[in-house]
Amino acid sequence: MQRTLRIDPSDPRPIWRQIEEGVRHLVATGSLGAGAVAPSVRDLAKELQVNPATVSKAYQRLTDAGVLTVKRGEGTFVSDSPPVLTNGKRTELLQEGAVRFAGLARVLGASHEQALKAFDSAWESLQTVAIPDGSGDDESESGEDFE
């Protein structure tokens, strides 16, 4: 199972949103493939040491968004075809994120050029993670890096 979901107590986002976005990220990068078993609310809560209600809220939103599917009696799975965003929605979400990033860049006093450079290098670093090289069937991936 993937072990790359983390929560950061000094992250200003609420924990449920960190989980929600973390799962979206895992799905988007292929770490959690279509149809894969998602950790149960209980296990994930224990692993992250957070209230199960918090995980549950994130899962609820992910289910509503069609990213996760609950199969009764079996558990929670990544949807077989996680929703492809409509162009409008994608633009909206991108814009939201861009405003946050631009705001941060300005608060930090970064130039337009510096900000773009930072963005490009972040983009690059994510790309390398995103490519599930080979068959991608590494169920036994070490990743015990939770404390």
Partner 1 sequence: MSAPEMPVSPLLAVDDLTVRYGRRTALDHLSLAVPAGSVYALLGRNGAGKSSLVRCLLGEQRPNTGRALLLGRDSWRERASILAEVGVVPEEPDAPPSMNARQISRFCSRLYPSWNEAGVRDRLERFGVPSDVAFGKLSKGQKGQVALALALAFSPRLLILDDPTLGLDAYARKTFFEELIGELADRGTTVFLTTHDLAAVEGIADRVGILSDGKLLLDEGMESLKQRFRRISFPAAAGDTGDTAVPEREIAALAPVAVAARGWGVEAVVSNYDEERFTRTRPAAANRGVEISALTLEEIFIALVGERKGGTK
Which listed residue (30, 33, 52, 75) binds partner 1 by CB under 8 A? Answer: 52
Among the listed residues 107, 109, 65, 60, the one whose alpha carbon sits nearest the alpha carbon of residue 84: 65
x/- string (CB under 8 A) for partner 1, residues 2-41? -----x-xxxx-xx-------------------------x
- Strand extents, DSSP E, 24-135: 68-71, 75-78
The residues, ordered by sequence, that sit 6+ positions from 93 with a Cβ below 8 Å of its Cβ are 85
Among 26-34, 48-56, 62-70, 113-121, the segment contacting partner 1 (CB under 8 A): 48-56
What is the residue-wise DSSP string for 8-49? -TTSSS-HHHHHHHHHHHHHHTTSS-TTPBPPPHHHHHHHHT
Q: Figure out which of the listed residues 93, 108, 116, 131 binds partner 1, where binding follows CB under 8 A.
A: 108
* 86 secondary structure, DSSP code: P
Residue 73, interface with partner 1 (CB under 8 A)?
A: no
Name which of 34 and 108 has its Cβ closer to partner 1. 108
Q: Which is nearer to partner 1, 28 or 102 (CB)?
A: 102
Under the binding rule (CB under 8 A), the answer on residue 113 touching partner 1 is no
- Residue number, 111 or 125, with CB nearest to partner 1: 111
